[in-house]
Each structure stands twice: as C-alpha cells, then as structure tokens.
Structure 1
Amino acid sequence: MFPEIHKLFNTHYRMLVDSHCHLNFPDFKEDLDEVLVRAQNADVKVLQTICTKITEFPDVLSLTENHDSIYCSIGIHPHHVSDEPRFEPDAIVGIANRYPSIIGIGETGLDYYYENSPREAQRESFCAHIDVARKTGLPVIIHSRSADEDTASMLRAEHEKAPFPGVIHCFTAGRSVAEAALECGLSISLSGIVTFKNAHSLRNIIQDLPVDKLLIETDAPFLSPVPRRGVRNEPSFVSHTAEFIADLLAIETEQFADQSSDNFFALFTRARRPS
C-alpha cells in the first residue's frame, strides 16, 4: 500500500540525524538559530553541513565551531570543479587531520545533467576525493546525477584499486548504481525525493536495499519532502522522510530512526553520538 504522506508527523524519536545539509548557504543567513532550535525540537540531534567549494570551507567550518551538534565535510561539488582551485589531495588530507569536526570528504562525484564542469575534470576530481577518503579513513560523499554508467564503473574501478568508505548522497540513480555501491561496501542516503509523487522507480529500488546501509538527509535548503513541498527545506523536515521510508519498508518509525542513526555513526566514525 502506498504510504500515507499527506499528514504532519508528531512522533518523537530517541534521535534523528540529518546526514547532508547546506547550512552555510544564504537561505539560512537570517534565521539559522531558529532552524537549529526546530531541529532539536524534532529530535534531529546531529547534522552534517556539506562543503561544495574549498573557498567556502572557512564558513562551513565555523558552523561546527559554534554548534556542538554540527559536523562538516570538505570538498568540491562537481558543479564547481572548473571554477575552484585545483583539489590537492595532500593539502586536503592535512586539513582533514587538523580539524576533528571534519567527518567526510566531498561532496564530489559526477553531474552530467547540468555539466557545469567538463566530464573529464569531474572524473579527475572524483578520483582525487576518493584518494583522500582512503588516506584519511573519512567517507567520501558522492553526488551522481544523469551519470549512472560512469558512476558505477568508477566506483568498481576505484574499489578494485583499494577499498574506501563512502555514501551515495540523495540517491536517485538507477539500480546499477545501487548495486555497485553495495558491492563496494558503500552506504546510500535518501532524501525527501522519495516522498515525491513521481518517484515510483526510486521507491521500488529502496524496497530492495539493506536497511543497515541506509542513511537519511534533507539536502536543505533543497528538496523539501511532502508534506512541506513549496517551502525552504530545513533539518527538522528529515522526520517526514524517516516516517515515509519506515512506512515504505513496513517497519516501525522509531526502529528506522534508530537504525538510520546507527548507520550514520557506523560510517562517519568521527561523529560523536550525543549522550
């Protein structure tokens, strides 16, 4: 049965984690403190704010220094590969080792939908991020859009060289990418897109994924889930995605909240579980 998604959820959880959001974006400039209060009130106790440009990393890092619940990543989004300084793995390893609040590498990957950067440059940057993930032990955070064939083949090729931890964020790819990710030991993070009316094929794939490999995210300020469509997304809304996925998988909502949180801490080992 299709999950009931046109309702507001008032369930309380032991803990939820928003594994991927962009709190340094201008969308949150005026009310970040209120956003974080709403997250806490929705039992979202840990958040990872994601770096998309090395030139903006100081702003990302400052959020972790001012808020105990926030961690961050470091990396260059495929959109920005061409307009950012070259990603230098050794330098990034040094930065990652210097700041314990950095828990992930990226986001990186392939975006052939917009192609804001040449494909070869995206692939080179993707490999460089994976190299940093190997050297630091920090998970690589992977963006993949309209690039299923190359994403799957690159994951397998890089895994063949040497394993690395990682997650496919905001998963919307086809079954081939899910299979490649799982073969390589990676996790899969699900966003509010799963609640969208036309996401039938995505929901079919999710039902076949192992629950111990699933994370949840908002990708805020983008991709607000039903029933919050049409407004800016924020970390508190991850509860709607958790509720929807639990219904889809026919498990208790609290069980999925606990499982997805456990999965996050198992992958992002630098993050501290709140007491």
Structure 2
Amino acid sequence: MEMQQVRYFLALSNTLNFTRAAEECNVTQPALTRAIKTLEEELGGELLRRERQHSHLTELGRRMLPLLQQCYDAATSAKSLAKAVQSSDVAPLNVTISNSVNIALLVSPFTELFRAYPGVHLKINRGSPAAVIDALKSGDAELAIAGPLGQVWDRLDVWPLFQEEIELAVNSDHPLARRNEADVSLAQLAAEPVLSRIDWETSEELSRCLSAKGYSPRTAHEVETDQDLLALLEANAGVGFVSLTAPRSSNTRRLKLRDLDVSRIVSVYAVAGRQRSPVATTLLNLLRSADWSTFGVSEPA
C-alpha cells in the first residue's frame, strides 16, 4: 500500500466524485482510478460504488476510512517531523483554548511539540464556547480544546481526551472548609451565595442536575474565567462549582459533591474535511496519546 493511493482514496471519500478527486490531487482521472483499483485489490474488496447519480462508500470503504486517515496523518507527521529536525523553518499553529480549560494540563504535549518542531510559532487564543466555534469556522484556529460544545455545528471533528468531575470550591476559612469531611451535600449549600460562571460549557448540564435535585443556587457574582472565580473565592465572596482540573490555591479548598454526580468531557476539536498542517496533526496526535490520568481524571465514558 502506498501513501499516494491512500491520499487518492481520502480525496475520493470526501468528494464522492472521481473527476473532482483527481483535480484535487492534481492527477488525471484514469491515474486516480487505477490507484483506487489497486488499493481495492490489496484490501480485498470494493471501497466505493459508482452509480450514475450518486457514488457512495461501501461498508468496507466506511470501515477503512478512519484507519486510512490515521495512517495518512501519521505518515504526514513523520515526514514533516523529519524535515523539521533538519531545518529551523517556522511552523505557525493557531490554537483556541476554552476559558474553562487549565493550560497547565497541556505542558507535556506542548513540550513534545516544541521538541519536534523547534521552529513552531504557537498562537494561543482564549475564549467562550461561542468564540471557540467561531475561531474554527473562520479558520483562525486549526485546533481547539474545550469542554462539551454541543451540536452547534455538524462539521466538527471531536476527539474526547478525558472526563473530569465537578467539585465545590470554597475559601479555606469558610465554615464548610473547616469541617473534617471531604464532601458536602446540596442541603448544606441552601443559604450559600454561589459564584456563577458566564459561558461555561458545563453550566447547562450542571443546572439540569441541580434542578433535578431540587436545588436552585443563589447567584452572588458572575465571572468569566477560572482565574476570576479563584480570585473571588480567595476574597470569600461565595462558593463556586469548578472542574477538577481548574486552577487551585492554598487559600481555597475543594469538596466533593455528596449527592450530585456531574462531570464533563474535555475534547480536542477540528473542522471535518479541512486540511490540517503537519504541526497541527502532530499536536493532535500528542493530545490523543497523552496520559491524562496523572491529573486525577478518567477515560471518557
């Protein structure tokens, strides 16, 4: 199997048209057709069924598509990595990270990326879930890392990275923090002012779970980022719901929610069908292969 055959198949699976796929790959249609036929012979079956009005992938083609895409991405990354090692070419990469994702989690993948691409020029933007979607749509970001974004755009490719619990954070001098218990019930929060997060990916799911338990938070203040929430917690302005991996402070304490089972999945996002740069593909592979368990999180359900 040759990477050229794989590239032709990926183009064909995207266009479902031999003529357009040949144009996209800058080859003649007969050459592309021969390559696809050779690939089918090697894999032992038909990958795409040609019909007069509409061509479509066969069952074998659908099963092979993600595997061949991964194979092609890995080969592209390896080739680019070899080139990067031999040169100091600047490789720009724009990444948008949700306000709710602690960038400290990404130190290891970034370290490996910088080692692989000494000339990488990383541009990191922060934003709300809506800003994350807009950055991907406009092409301002090749990759994005965020919590659940919902079904807001059907062109999103999503790779879940880890699942984390939602906890309660309080000031170290708060009465709830001075107890010997490591958890807290919702009934104990009835009179507590709650710091609310603006545009937090987990807000809707959290509100639904709290409502199901008959608890309606008394909102005290509204903040946009974990850092702002942490500052108000240190000022003892209320209590707040945070993700397990959110930034911590020696002046605050985390408590498990005794009668509430709520969590979120953090994923990496990209635009389906859009060509990714080799450096973006490398970072994507590093994120997907990272060991997130060291942060106390679990595999996505």
**Bigger radius of gyration, 1 or 2?**
2
TM-score (norm 1): 0.26
Q: TM-score, normalised by structure 2?
A: 0.25
